[in-house]
Structure 1
């Protein structure tokens, strides 16, 4: 049981930090609501661009806006 807790204590911060750096390096991801491989002009999620901000980037932007 102690080895599982130790493994979680090491892996969880590593995965979290790597996702934060990934979101900072590439904040925009492809839209999952548009049809695969193309843009949909009527998509309300991405406004027809085919790109949407990632969840981590949205959380960062909201936290930054809340702080101001």
Structure 2
């Protein structure tokens, strides 16, 4: 059990850093409500574009706005 926890602890930073790099390189992902990006003009989640911002990108924008609003 201790080996499993140690393995998870060493892999977690790598997985987190990889996801951050993916979000910065490509902040837009496929819309899951449109079923894998088939553009549906009636989709309210993506406004019919088939693309939605990734969760990591949304968190980055939220933190950036908090910082900007707090310092100005």
Structure 1 and Structure 2 fold alike (TM over 0.5): yes
TM-score, normalised on structure 2?
0.84
Q: Give unmatched runs, 5+ long, in structure 1.
A: none
Structure 1 residues 22-41: Cα deviation after superposition (integer angstroms, max 9, x where no partner): 11111000111114452111
Partner Cα distance (2:65, 2:30) in 1 = 24
Higher relative contact order (CA 8 A, sep 6+): 1
Partner Cα distance (2:10, 2:21) in 1 = 17
1:19 paired residue number: 19
Q: CA RMSD in A?
A: 1.3
Aligned residues: 68
Structure 1 residues 32-63: Cα deviation after superposition (integer angstroms, max 9, x where no partner): 11144521111110011110000000010111
- Structure 1 stretches of 4+ moved >4 Å: none
